[in-house]
Structure 1
Amino acid sequence: MRPEKKYLVDEVSTHLAKSDYVYLANYERITVDETAELRASLAEHDAEFHVVKNTIFGIAAGEKEYPDVSEHLSGPTAIIVGGNNPSGVAKVLNKFFKDKEKVDLKVGIFNDKTLDKQQIEALAKLPGLESLRAQLLGLLTQPGTGLVRVLNAVPQNVVNVLQAKVRAENGE
């Protein structure tokens, strides 16, 4: 392999190493300003948008032992990688692609599994990472809260019974 091609493969491999997922998009009709807008939106999730050559991506993906997505490697291709919130990034992409109606998702790879366009859209509909963490925390604390209420109810009940007994003895 020529040195300049090896350099490009190494660069794409570096990008792929930034996250457990990669989304491939067709950016054919997107303008420079729209690309800057998309990159700014993705930066909020620590994600990046990079234009790549299909052959270079194919080689880099093969080295990382990604599933074969060669059928999707035609036409202009950009990769979206980075950050630890794949559903948040998918939300940004879906919103951008629906608003602009110019670019389109081709395919995604998440934890060595291929995601088609519908699966990426379903991923985008999931709550954000922070929301999921809050929901999990709520589920984990719920049994403990119930136990505390039960344990607290026993002394409360005993106090109420004793107070009623004292009132009865005093003739109140």
Structure 2
Amino acid sequence: MDRTEKRAFVSALQAVFADTSFVLVSQNKGLTVADATVLRNRMRAAGASYKVAKNRLASLALDGTKFQAIQPLLKGPTALAWSTDPVAVAKTAVEFARTNDKFVILGGALGTQQLSADGVKALAELPSLETLRAQLLGLIQTPATRIAGVLQAPGSQLARVFSAYAKKDETAEAA
């Protein structure tokens, strides 16, 4: 990389750090190209990005951002993953780390809060943003359906009573 490419890379990472809410730092020592491709595809499918970055350039990009706390983690062959949905990145990384022992989660940052590897694993156990939205919508809709059911019940009971009387009259007339 020449200087202009390095400056462009640092400014691109700074823009990413300004827009995202979660950054994961991992070590990929000995990860094959095929495994890295699988990981990238899984991250992309989860709505996340995964990038191997030179530690010095990543440190420069982290200066002055809310993710400065992860600078000490940038040692050795590291990679960064980020997304606006922190749970998606954490789940994808933790699932991949279970199947590939050469991929090690070092930690991350959720806003200004630094997370250890255990913190990232705990974050991965949370339901995703989409799941939480669906659960919230279900909670909101449940009372409305119950109210509608309660309001409909007296009307349907009256209809059954009238129907029973009508059938009773029909059987009395037939006899």
TM-score between the two structures when normalised by the length of structure 1: 0.82
Report the Cα offset of residue 150 of structure 1.
0.6
Report the Cα offset of residue 5 of structure 1.
4.7
Q: Which amino acid aligns with 2:48?
A: A
* Deviation digits for residues 19-76 of structure 1 (CA, Å, limit 9, x no counterpart): 3211111112212221111111111123221112223222322222324223322222
Mapped partners of 1:89, 1:149: distance in 2: 41
Mapped partners of 2:24, 2:104: distance in 1: 11
Contact 1:67/1:113 (8 A) holds in 2: no
**Cross-structure match for 2:41:** 40
Contact 2:10/2:60 (8 A) holds in 1: yes
Range moving further from structure 2, 52-61 or 136-145: 52-61
Mapped partners of 2:168, 2:55: distance in 1: 88
* Structure 2 residue 99 is matched with structure 1 residue 96: no
Q: Which amino acid aligns with 2:112?
A: D
* Deviation digits for residues 121-143 of structure 1 (CA, Å, limit 9, x no counterpart): 12222233433332222111100
Q: How does 1:11-90 map to 2 (within 5 A)?
A: 11-17=12-18, 19-82=20-83, 84-90=84-90
Distance 1:42 1:18, change over 3 A: farther
Contact 1:12/1:52 (8 A) holds in 2: no
Contact 1:88/1:128 (8 A) holds in 2: yes
TM-score between the two structures when normalised by the length of structure 2: 0.81
**Cross-structure match for 1:133:** 133
**Cross-structure match for 1:116:** 116
Mapped partners of 1:44, 1:171: distance in 2: 67
Range moving further from structure 2, 112-121 or 100-109: 112-121
The answer for unaligned runs of 5 or more in structure 2 is none
Mapped partners of 1:162, 1:171: distance in 2: 14
Mapped partners of 1:94, 1:19: distance in 2: 19
Range moving further from structure 2, 37-46 or 106-115: 106-115
The answer for unaligned runs of 5 or more in structure 1 is none
Contact 1:90/1:120 (8 A) holds in 2: yes
Contact 1:25/1:77 (8 A) holds in 2: yes
Distance 1:32 1:164, change over 3 A: closer
SS at match of 2:80: strand
Q: Which amino acid aligns with 2:94?
A: N
Alignment RMSD (CA, Å) = 2.6
Distance 1:34 1:18, change over 3 A: farther
Report the Cα offset of residue 93 of structure 1.
1.0
